[in-house]
Structures are given as structure tokens and as C-alpha cells.
Amino acid sequence: MRALLTKVEQDSRLDRAGDRLQKVVLGTLRPRRLRDLLHGVTLGHPLHPAMVQVPVGAWISAAVLDLMPGQRRPATVLVGLGTVSALPAAVAGLNDWAALARDQRRVGLVHAAANTVGMAIYAGSLAARLSGRHGMGRALGFLGLSTVSLGAYIGGHLAYKQGAQVNQSVSELHRMTDGWHSLADMATLPQRTLITREVDDDISVILYRHGDEVTVMLERCPHQSGPLGEGDVQEIDGHACVVCPWHGSAFRLNGGEVMQGPSGNDQQILPTRIQNGVLQTRLP
Ligand code: FES
């Protein structure tokens, strides 16, 4: 299965369908605030994995009830809940998918296809149960659960092997050594300008001075490792934010909260102090 998914990652024949679907998703999910909501910007956490808990929980519970006598009605209610709640979860997933890298989109396409087939089977299961054909409804329920489980496996590969929508910058913290690190002489640090510096020789951070306050933030964008130091500073909802040059995610310079997707994760701010006129930082 792992070898098969590795082949999917590299299969450019999926790109034609993927590119078309991406255009449809980006053209349909507007305005940007809707896309941000679906990415999880409001939560500071990707929304899709949280939303799938409802259909997955409902469908697994329905399968357990299907194995017990006298549970037709609650099982039907749970199959209905799972099928209806899967729709917004799928929309949030498609929204994330449209901002992924090409190899991730290929696997994401197969993940979405498996789950779409699973949802269709569950819709059939619901229709059978509502028309009194409970044996057929149960059989389709188990088939649907097998199909969405396959979809979940592929989704796991996408998230944990390919790193889709996981925080790409936080691993920088694991490489940073303890103690304070000197970054810049305050006397020469310009106001309201993004400056890039390195900690431990290869961990990039950005500095942004505003009066006597200096923000130190990891430079690698949590979305897909874009260089925030090459981004712009823009005011969004009254807050100065750094905007990633790759896909436009924006992070508050005062706090690191994500203000604009496709990142669903906040960016890490590092503690600072000034010692003898020198700005220093350390691990949080
Ligand atoms: S890398 Fe995609 S928004 Fe930064």
C-alpha cells in the first residue's frame, strides 16, 4: 500500500483532473474569508481534521449498533448524521487540498475519491434503511465504512508522510539549542522593516522592530515552508502582519496568530530580551 501511494505521489496523469478540480474549488469557494474559515484560521488549527470527527464517529457508532439487536432506528439516525456532516467536512478538505503542493494534490485526489464513493454508499445505506430494507442498509453501511476507512488511511499518508496542512515550521524549535542567542545590535536595527537572522547558524528567524518592541518569529511559513522574510508587512484587521510570498498566509507580528490562510496554524513567536544593547532570543 505504501509503495502504491508513493506511485500515486509521482503519477502526473492525475494532474489534469486535479488542475481542473482545483480551478473549480478556487472559483467556487469565495470570498477569501470563507476559505479562511474553512482552513481553520479562526481556530488557529486546521478545521478539516476536526470536522471529520463527526461523520467518522457517527458511522463507527452506527456499525456497532448494526451488530446489536433492536437498534435499527438509532443506527439509521447515526448513518444520516454521518452522511450529512460529511458534506461540510469534505468542503473544508477540498479547500485545504486546493492549496497543497502538486504531489500532495495527487494523493489528496485519491483520498477525496475514496471518501466520495464512501459517502455515496452511505447515502444508499440511508435510503435503504428509510425504505425499510434494513438488511441492505446494514450491508451498505459496512461497505461504506470500509471505503471511508481506506480514504482515512490515504488521508493519514497525506498528512503524516507528506506533511499536508501540518505545521512545517515547528520542527525548527526542536533543533534550536537552549539558552539566549544574540541576534542584532539594537542601535542598528531599523524600524518597521523585516530583517532575517539565523540562530544556531541555520535556523532562520525574522525580526520586526516597532518602537522599542521587537518581534522575533520563525521564518519558515507553517503552511509549506515559504520564506516569510521575503514577504510583505501589511495591516490586516488593524494588526501589522507578515504575508507569506508563496500563497499569502498572514501572521500577526504581535503574537503570531494566523490572520489569513491557507495556513491553518499560527506562527511561532520567540521570547526576546535586550542585554547590553543586543537583542537576544531563546526557545519559548
Ligand atoms: S508557504 Fe504557503 S502560505 Fe506560506
Q: What is the pLDDT of residue 117?
A: 98
Among 125, 146, 162, the domain boundary falls at: 162
Q: Are residues 215 and 115 in the same domain?
A: no
Residues 143 and 72 occupy one common structural domain: yes
224 lines ligand 1 (CB under 6 A): yes
Phi, psi of 59 (to 5 degrees): -70, -40
189 and 226 within one domain: yes
If asked whether residues 72 and 192 sit together in one domain, one would say no
* Ligand 1: centre distance to CA 219 (Å): 11
Pick the last residue of a domain from 106, 128, 162: 162
Query: Is-contact 262 96, C-beta < 8 A?
Result: yes
For the CA of 221, the nearest atom of ligand 1: 4
Q: Are 244 and 109 part of one and the same domain?
A: no
Q: Which atom of ligand 1 is nearest to the CA of 261?
A: 3
pLDDT for res 204: 98
- Atom index in ligand 1 nearest the CA of residue 244 equals 4
Q: Using an 8 Å Cβ cutoff, are 3 and 11 in contact?
A: no
Q: State the cell numbers at 73.
A: 432506528
- The minimum-distance atom of ligand 1 relative to the CA of 245 is 4
CA of 141 to the centre of ligand 1 (A): 39
Residues 38 and 94 in one domain: yes
Domains held by the chain: number: 2
226 and 278 fall within a common domain: yes
Residue with cell 499560527: 266
| Structural contact between residues 89 and 97, judged by C-beta atoms closer than 8 angstroms | no
d(Cα 110, Cα 117) in Å, to the nearest integer? 11
Same domain for 11 and 145? yes
Which domain does 206 fall in, by range? 169-282
Distance between CA atoms of residues 72 and 62, nearest Å: 9
d(CA 227, CA 169): 11
Domain boundary among 162, 184, 218: 162
Q: Which atom of ligand 1 is nearest to the CA of 226?
A: 1
Terminal-residue alpha carbon distance, the chain: 39
Q: The cell 464517529 sits on which residue?
A: 57
Distance of alpha carbon 139 from alpha carbon 151, whole angstroms: 19
Q: What pLDDT was estimated at residue 44?
A: 86
- The response to whether residue 85 sits with its C-beta less than 6 Å from ligand 1 reads no
Tens of pLDDT along the chain (284 residues) come to: 889 999 999 999 999 999 999 999 999 999 999 999 999 999 988 999 999 999 999 999 999 999 999 999 999 999 999 999 999 999 999 999 999 999 999 999 999 999 999 999 999 999 999 999 999 999 999 999 999 999 999 999 999 999 999 999 999 999 999 999 999 999 999 999 999 999 999 999 999 999 989 999 999 999 999 999 999 999 999 999 999 999 999 999 999 999 999 999 999 999 999 999 999 999 99
Is the Cβ atom of 153 under 6 angstroms away from ligand 1? no
266, 222 Cβ separation under 8 angstroms: yes
* Non-local CB neighbours of 51 within 8 Å, separated by 6+ positions: 85, 88, 89, 92
What spacing in Å lies between the alpha carbon of 168 and ligand 1's midpoint?
10
Domain with 184 in it: what CATH number?
Answer: 2.102.10.10
Q: Same structural domain for residues 158 and 199?
A: no
Is the C-beta atom of 244 inside 6 A of ligand 1? yes
Q: Specify whether 180 is located in the same domain as 134.
A: no
pTM equals 0.90
Do residues 134 and 236 share a domain? no
Whole-number Å distance between alpha carbons of 225 and 203: 12
Interatomic CA distance for residues 23 and 63, integer angstroms: 37
- pLDDT in the model for residue 280: 98
**Mutation probe of ligand 1 site: the residue of 249, 266, 268 with most atoms within 8 A of C-beta:** 249
Ligand 1 within 6 A of CB of 263: yes
Enumerate residues 6+ apart whose C-beta is below 8 A from 202. 175
Q: Check: CB of residue 64 under 8 Å from CB of residue 74.
A: no
Claim to verify: residue 156 and residue 207 sit in the same structural domain: no
Question: What pLDDT is recorded for position 102?
Answer: 96
